[in-house]
């Protein structure tokens, strides 16, 4: 496979795993069998994480399994699933993995694993996986439904001691890279990441899905997806979870103990820009699931084309040249400049006089937009600069791109953190 797209090298070396591009399919239904994986490789994906393997007998799934949170025109904003790990036998999966890796040696192939939190279980399965020739393993310590009730998945990922223990077992009985997949269903993502590092993890991947109930059937008073007359919480994914995923990736990337730990970014990656944002916040590869389930494998063509074109425009010749570049500009609130000021400006030539900015500001913000109604009935909206606090609400509600801009003001004041702000009753003395 050609690593060069539009004159840019998209190849990566992620924790020792080489891939012709950073786009991997995440462990999920799209990677459940050789048929899917081969078609994904043919479409141009740089790697896959095979759907989670477990011990025999294989898991048994229910029907139905998926539900969605919709926006306007039935756009899927978030996706919910209550599907478990692979429901095919371990032997069938292992044989298919070995054959696919033999046939596609230039693509990354990582095997997701979940077995009971017992050393003997890991000691048994790891040599079997290593014999397939796969490039590495990903520990599924984040599944939020079904498996935690059996002491696996998020039940392990929410316990740093167990994360460290399981990771250590894997490093003891497996010689290739070990990636630990982290659950977002936790208070502080830094603790499990540090535990994985202590256990010897070569990398982490995140986020796994978020506990959720997407909607209810109010006629029958049961949540979706519905199994008979009941439902349960499931794992939430899709574009709606991207902001949560980006924050957690950044938390690990800027935390001193884990700042050099390779990260595979997961959560709402739907296009090249999403991928670039994850990489800029520290990810070395990105994993995609929901977007592929909604639009098919060929979306990777647009992702590679868009990313490479943007990189070329920015002068980046490789992924590593901008990986983590936004981390230094991501900080805690207390370090932000209290003297920085910006105010809104409305471009009257682009304004369509819809009044959404005025309504939002007048009803719910700082009453800093004036409405003028001319004799003809035409309306005009202007920012009352002395009242504007630069909250961005008007810009967000405006339906016309670039009609409202935020303009930085020269206050003549130096940088001032909240820690040293005289208005802070607990300020640090100079």
Task: Report, as residue numbers or ranges, the catalytic residues.
Answer: 143
Q: Are 413 and 339 in contact (CB under 8 A)?
A: yes
Give the count of beta carbons closer than 10 Å to the beta carbon of residue 2. Answer: 9
DSSP 250-268: HHHHTSGGGTTS-EEEES-
Phi, psi of 48 (to 5 degrees): -140, 155
- Token digits of residue 11: 């190849």
Residue carrying structure tokens 């011990």: 55
Listed in sequence order, the residues at least 6 apart from 332 whose beta carbon sits closer than 8 Å to its beta carbon are none
Q: What is the three-class DSSP state of 383?
A: strand
* Nearest-angstrom CA–CA distance, 371 and 353: 10
* Nearest-angstrom CA–CA distance, 5 and 19: 14
- Token digits of residue 422: 């005289």
* Nearest-angstrom CA–CA distance, 422 and 321: 40
Q: Are 407 and 392 in contact (CB under 8 A)?
A: no
**How far, in Å, are 157, 215, 400, 411 from residue 253 at the CA level?**
19, 34, 35, 33
**How far, in Å, are 39, 56, 83, 88, 174 from residue 92 at the CA level?**
18, 11, 19, 7, 21
Q: What is the three-class DSSP state of 352?
A: coil
């Amino acid at each position: 496979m050609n690593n060069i797209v539009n004159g840019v090298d998209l190849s990566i070396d992620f924790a020792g795993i080489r891939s012709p591009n950073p786009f991997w399919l995440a462990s999920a239904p799209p990677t459940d069998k050789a048929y899917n994986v081969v078609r994904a490789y043919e479409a141009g994906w740089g790697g896959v994480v095979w759907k989670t393997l477990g011990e025999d007998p294989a898991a048994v799934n229910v029907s139905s399994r998926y539900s969605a949170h919709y926006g306007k025109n039935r756009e899927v904003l978030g996706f919910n699933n209550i599907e478990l790990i692979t429901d095919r036998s371990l032997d069938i999966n292992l044989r298919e993995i070995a054959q696919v890796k033999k046939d596609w040696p230039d693509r990354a192939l990582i095997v997701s694993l979940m077995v009971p939190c017992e050393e003997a279980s890991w000691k048994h399965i790891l040599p079997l996986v290593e014999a397939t020739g796969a490039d590495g393993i990903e520990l599924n310590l984040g599944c939020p439904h079904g498996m935690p009730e059996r002491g696996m998945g998020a039940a392990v990922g929410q316990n740093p001691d167990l994360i460290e223990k399981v990771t250590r077992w894997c490093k003891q009985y497996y010689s290739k890279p070990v990636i630990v997949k982290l659950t977002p269903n936790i208070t502080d993502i830094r603790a499990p990441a540090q535990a994985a590092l202590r256990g010897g993890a070569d990398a982490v991947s995140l986020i796994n899905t978020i506990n959720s109930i997407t909607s209810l059937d109010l006629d029958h008073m049961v949540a979706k997806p519905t199994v008979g007359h009941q439902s349960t919480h499931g794992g939430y994914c899709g574009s709606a979870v991207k902001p949560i995923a980006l924050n957690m990736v950044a938390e690990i990337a800027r935390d001193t103990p884990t700042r050099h730990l390779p990260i595979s970014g997961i959560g709402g990656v739907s296009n090249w820009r999403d991928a670039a944002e994850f990489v800029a916040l520290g990810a070395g590869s990105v994993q995609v699931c929901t977007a592929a389930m909604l639009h098919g494998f060929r979306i990777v063509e647009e992702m590679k084309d868009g990313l490479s074109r943007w990189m070329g425009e920015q002068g980046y010749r490789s992924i590593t040249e901008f990986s983590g570049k936004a981390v230094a500009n991501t900080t805690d609130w207390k370090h932000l400049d209290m003297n920085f000021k910006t105010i809104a400006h409305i471009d009257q030539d682009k304004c369509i006089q819809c009044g959404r900015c005025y309504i939002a500001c007048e009803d719910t913000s700082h009453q800093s937009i004036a409405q003028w109604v001319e004799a003809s009935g035409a309306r005009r909206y202007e920012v009352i600069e002395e009242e504007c606090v630069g909250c961005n609400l008007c810009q967000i509600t405006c339906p016309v791109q670039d009609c409202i801009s935020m303009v930085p003001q020269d206050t003549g004041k130096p940088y001032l953190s909240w820690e040293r702000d005289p208005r802070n009753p607990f300020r640090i003395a100079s």
